[in-house]
Amino acid sequence: MKLSVVITAKNAAATLERTLKSVQFADEIVVVDMMSSDTTKQIALKFTDKVFFTPDVGYVEPARNFSLSKSSGDWILIVDADEVIPPALRDHLLQLLKVESDVSSYSIARKNIIFGEWVQTAGWWPDYQPRLFKRGKVLWSDTIHSKPTIDGTFEKLPATAELALEHHNYETLSEFVQRLDRYTSIATDVTTQKPGIDLEHPIVVFRREFLQRLFALRGIEGGYRGVLLALLQGFSEVVQTAKFWEVKQNNLFGAKTDSIKELHELRAQLAYWIADEELRSAQGLQVLVWRVRRKFRI
């Protein structure tokens, strides 16, 4: 079975060589450059002569189908320009291709390295990504951060550190903020074109994202980094909502009473989650105390 690795890149000079070195086991490497202004093209040409170009629209999904069309393998492995295939995952994938199977695609767990460390809380692990496909079995939507449509069955590889993609995600806070600005602008453009989308109060969107990331998805277990990411992701939702409001110029939530109401709800939900967290380690009478406080959100 011939394996093609497909990489779509934009100004990826800082990470692309590391990525390409990790995928040299493939029968074919295809790099599609979204009009980079750095040395992405030159780096790619050191590893493959199959380098193509496509217009840059600010995010990768619209280029996915074009990138796939440039490959010729029986199986296609998609790798982003800031990812690495470690040796254990490489060996596992090559072994998979030797086995006859009806499976059309495989999803791979992804280790997100954020601000210098692997983040395993706040919804960042196992972060499964559909990446290995039989030819002709996948079609991508142009929507940002969309998942592909897969024809046939799929399986997930085990969520272990050894068999995970290494994703060298946000290396600095500045990088996070820059991408936040770009992605929220793109998402706002898409949202404003959809009929019937209502503007939500910024406190509502922050509360939903922040509390989910911090408690339900256990960001609280990640120390300072986990709390910071929960806050940043909550802020990201606020920025997107603000950009939507900026376009619509809708003052539906301009009244002070609306904001006070939502702040009360934020306080109540935060009280619930704090009590729930305290219950995890409470003993004796403290168990009863925290159960009461959780029930009445005080």
Residue limits of CATH 3.90.550.10 in the chain:
3-168
Q: Whose structure tokens read 């994703």?
A: 167
What backbone torsions phi and psi does residue 155 show, to the nearest 5 degrees? -135, 160
Return the ∠ at Cα 76 (arms to 74 and 79), rounded to 5°. Answer: 165
CB atoms within 10 A of CB 80: 20
CB atoms within 10 A of CB 183: 17
Which of 34, 28, 79 shows the shortest CA–CA distance to 53?
34
**Distance separating alpha carbons of residues 262 and 110, to the nearest angstrom:** 36
Which helix (H) or strand (E) segment is 96 a member of? helix 87-96
Q: pTM score > 0.85 for this model?
A: yes
DSSP state at residue 30:
E
The partner residues of 226 in beta bridges, in order of sequence, read: none
**Distance separating alpha carbons of residues 244 and 191, to the nearest angstrom:** 8
pLDDT for position 21 = 98
Which helix (H) or strand (E) segment is 132 a member of? strand 129-134
Give the list of residues 6+ apart from residue 25 with CB closer than 8 angstroms, or none. 3, 85, 90, 94
How confident is the prediction along the chain (298 residues), in pLDDT tens digits per residue? 899 999 999 999 999 999 999 999 999 999 999 999 999 999 999 999 999 999 987 778 888 889 999 999 999 999 999 999 999 999 999 999 998 889 999 999 999 999 999 999 999 999 999 999 999 988 888 777 778 888 999 999 999 999 999 999 999 999 999 999 999 998 888 788 777 778 889 999 999 999 999 999 999 999 999 999 999 999 999 999 999 888 877 665 567 888 999 999 999 999 999 999 999 999 999 999 999 999 999 9
Number of residues that this document lists for the chain: 298
| The CATH number, out of the four listed (3.40.50.2300, 1.10.357.10, 3.90.550.10, 3.20.20.70), of the domain defined by the range 3-168 | 3.90.550.10
pLDDT for position 145 = 74
DSSP per-residue codes, 244-273: HHHHHT--TT-SHHHHHHHHHHHHHHHHHH
Give the list of residues 6+ apart from residue 95 with CB closer than 8 angstroms, or none. none
